Structure 1
Amino acid sequence: MPELIFITALLLAGWTFAGYPALAVWLARRREKAPLPATVELADVTVIVAARNEAERIGARVTNLLESDYPAARLKILVIDDGSSDTTATAALVSEDPRVQVLRLPESLGKAAALNAGMHRVATPLTVFADARQAFSGNAVSALVSAFSDARVGVAAGHLVLPGNESSGLYWRIESALRHAESTLGWAHAASGAIYAIRTPLYQPMPEGLLLDDVWIPLQALKHGFRIVDAPDALAVEPQAVAPSAEFRRKLRTLVGNWQLMAAAPWLLNPWRNPVFFPWLSHKMARLLAPWALLAALIASMVSTTPWMRWALIAQLLAYTVATAALLAPRLARRVPLATAAGSFLLLNLAALLSLPRFLIRPDRSTLWKGRD
């Protein structure tokens, strides 16, 4: 029995982290890509930034958006001040540009409620969602808008760039390749919250306290028969490397959000109602189950008396030791091949392991969204 548990658990983890990504990338490479039109109709666009206690950087963020190469007459910016206790609302208007508006909420309600309130103010056919932390590349808005030249596209997803962080960089390179493959195959079901755009009429209000707007909003487009596509030239750049502790909190919040999303939208688990059930199961759900499979494999190895299982136990303990050491001594880990990647892998799966109990125990999940995280 321990041997069967070990093999089953290993197959699940292998499919999650290697099998499914490899299959998606392979299938995507075999599919011809239709060329984009030479000319793209430029629509009016509103960029929404939900912020809380961001007085120190919201001015620079707004300036960055105003410097976009998108036609100035067609670009609007809406900053939603989610009940800040500082001067975020005032700082957002420092440019005195009439294209910039601020909606100040009287109290902090969380990102979902802030976006719901802000979308009532949007009158443009396209909406771009952005965070206060990153900076857009000059062509980001144009690159997102170009994706909507295809009438079947409901959401365009840009790319988040994490410079100076080797572990996160490797994770995001793999994740970006997978998302691009899913886009090519029509399997895409999410975006990066730092940079994505939608057809405004497709927006559906989110339940208050929902954590993953960048999954909820694209899924609503899917339900209405539209596609989610990758816009690799639209970049949101993180200004500095993310500390492991902050990276862990962000991953935990995202993974808790996946459990929360399934509770709010149970149709995701129904293969007859979810148009992207297979990629959702293989990408999102499997990521939540994989750490439990790895834990089961470790326990099975410990209780088994089979000789080859003893070697499997030694290999697992060695791998976890290297990964733990990489997290505790990141500079030293850079000298050991794959050690940093092992540390990032351990961090991701530890966050996934803790996400279910965190979701079940903590009743007020809206506090997991913080303006400066």
Structure 2
Amino acid sequence: MSTQIVFWLCIALVIYAYAGYPMLAALLARRYGQVPFEGSADGDVTVVIAAYDEEARIAARVRDILEQDHPAGRLRVLVVSDGSRDDTARAAAIDDPRVQVLALPENVGKAMAINAALRHVDTEIVVFTDVRQSFAPGALRALVAPFADPSVGAVSGELVIATATHGTGEGVGLYWRMEKRLRSDEAKLGWLHGVSGSIHAMRRSLFRPMPPGTVLDDMWMPLQVLWSGYQVWMARDAIAFDRASSSVDEEFQRKLRTLAGNWQLVARLPWLLNPLRNPVFFAWFSHKFLRLLVPWALLAALAASAFAPGPIYRVAFIAQLLGYGGALAGLVLPKLAARLPLLPAASSFVMLNFAALLSLPASLAMDPSRLWKKH
């Protein structure tokens, strides 16, 4: 295969993964998308929070949930203290009969903590959230309402991230806004296969225990729902608020962990790679898997343009070098990135794809003993 063909195939892959597929999903959702009907949101609900060393924040988080507009007698909160070294369990046990605390003797990781929690849940709907977020008023009601449609097995809320202080924050924010729009379009087509770990819910009967060390519980659970023949919906009025990463390094580590978790899922759920068995193969392959391949395509395009004959490839090679150089400068000099248009987006693109490049070796070298990553 000639270097010219390699170059254009790689560029096509990158464009399709980040622009072509989202545009296709948007067009199809506009024409063929469906919205589940909503009904009463007053049923019995249990909100599960897995916590590790969260003594300082857990009580406020529990109160934030109990203040939601939901019938008091139908709302429960179950806090799992996952072998915490501090007094998380005591702090979570506020004086309210709706709150239950499960203290695990050892740190087993978030996935196993959730498994343990679900053995104590008997409500039809279970909601999952983390400690560091807060819910907007009405978030719980908006999250539960779509379950009136019997075809809906899981519902994702929408995470709103505060503006970051580092220079790439604007670029990460742009990426996240595009990601949420894509997820919304996928939901309308019945293709949604991931949820926001900070605010999502599912039918208790569809939960399948996760293997130890599972990184992406917010993909494992909705994939099991899809496997069972149900739909995953996105309720954009169910909003959780979170802070942005405080530094480029923190954002990079968070993204690397997520992308490595995608490789882990492929290993643990090999049916994802089978178009005949994966009910959302086209969406999963286009949205998740191709983005793991994009950094390799970018490297191949750079190498191909360096060796391909003709002035157009010389220009392409120089343009790529200049683009990567500017993006790296934006990462090293965040104040500079904040002042120049498009530089934050370019810096974020390079950072995210560098994380994707390292995600496969990171997944192979993942240390099961580091069960929780504190932010």
Query: What TM-score results when the alignment is normalised by the length of structure 1?
Result: 0.96
What is residue 241 of structure 2 aligned with on the other side? 237
* CA apart distance, 1:247: 1.1
Equivalences for residues 153-192 of structure 1 within 5 A: 153-165=152-164, 166-192=170-196
Q: Following the alignment from structure 1 to structure 2, what is the Cα–Cα distance between the partners of residues 242 and 11?
A: 34
* CA apart distance, 1:295: 1.0
What is residue 362 of structure 2 aligned with on the other side? 358
Equivalences for residues 6-17 of structure 1 within 5 A: 6-17=7-18
Contact 2:36 2:152 in 1 (8 A): no
What is residue 115 of structure 1 aligned with on the other side? 114
Q: Following the alignment from structure 1 to structure 2, what is the Cα–Cα distance between the partners of residues 338 and 239?
A: 23
Instruction: Say if 1:5 and 1:337 are closer, same or farther in 2 by CA, change over 3 A.
Output: same
* CA apart distance, 1:180: 0.1
Contact 1:163 1:241 in 2 (8 A): no
Quick one: which amino acid aligns to residue 283 of structure 2?
Answer: P
- Of the three residues 255, 259, 264, the one matched with 2:268 is 264
Contact 2:163 2:243 in 1 (8 A): no
What is residue 96 of structure 2 aligned with on the other side? 97
Q: Following the alignment from structure 1 to structure 2, what is the Cα–Cα distance between the partners of residues 185 and 255?
A: 24
Quick one: which amino acid aligns to residue 12 of structure 2?
Answer: L
Contact 2:154 2:201 in 1 (8 A): yes
What is residue 23 of structure 1 aligned with on the other side? 24
What is residue 130 of structure 1 aligned with on the other side? 129
What is residue 167 of structure 2 aligned with on the other side? none
Q: Following the alignment from structure 2 to structure 1, what is the Cα–Cα distance between the partners of residues 114 and 236?
A: 24
Q: Following the alignment from structure 2 to structure 1, what is the Cα–Cα distance between the partners of residues 74 and 54?
A: 26
Contact 1:162 1:241 in 2 (8 A): no
Q: Following the alignment from structure 2 to structure 1, what is the Cα–Cα distance between the partners of residues 157 and 357?
A: 28
What is residue 80 of structure 1 aligned with on the other side? 80
Contact 1:193 1:213 in 2 (8 A): yes
Matched-pair identity in %: 53
Contact 2:215 2:261 in 1 (8 A): yes
Contact 1:58 1:91 in 2 (8 A): yes
Are 1:201 and 2:205 matched, yes or no? yes
Contact 1:253 1:368 in 2 (8 A): no
Contact 1:204 1:220 in 2 (8 A): yes
- Of the three residues 353, 369, 372, the one matched with 2:372 is 369
**Structure 1 unaligned residues grouped into runs of 5+:** none
Q: Following the alignment from structure 2 to structure 1, what is the Cα–Cα distance between the partners of residues 341 and 128?
A: 37
The root-mean-square deviation of aligned C-alpha atoms, in Å, is 1.4
* CA apart distance, 1:168: 2.4
Quick one: which amino acid aligns to residue 4 of structure 1?
Answer: I
Query: What TM-score results when the alignment is normalised by the length of structure 2?
Result: 0.95
Query: Per-residue displacement from partner, 1:105-125 (whole Å, max 9, x unpaired)?
Result: 111111111000110000110
Are 1:216 and 2:220 matched, yes or no? yes
Contact 2:46 2:77 in 1 (8 A): yes
Q: Following the alignment from structure 2 to structure 1, what is the Cα–Cα distance between the partners of residues 213 and 296?
A: 27
Contact 2:155 2:234 in 1 (8 A): yes
Contact 1:159 1:235 in 2 (8 A): yes
* CA apart distance, 1:164: 1.1
Q: Following the alignment from structure 2 to structure 1, what is the Cα–Cα distance between the partners of residues 198 and 134?
A: 9
* CA apart distance, 1:317: 1.0
What is residue 43 of structure 2 aligned with on the other side? 43
Query: Per-residue displacement from partner, 1:324-346 (whole Å, max 9, x unpaired)?
Result: 12212222212211111111111
| Residues paired across the two proteins, number | 369
What is residue 300 of structure 1 aligned with on the other side? 304
* CA apart distance, 1:138: 1.8
* CA apart distance, 1:258: 0.5
Contact 1:211 1:366 in 2 (8 A): no
Secondary structure of 1:113's partner? Answer: helix
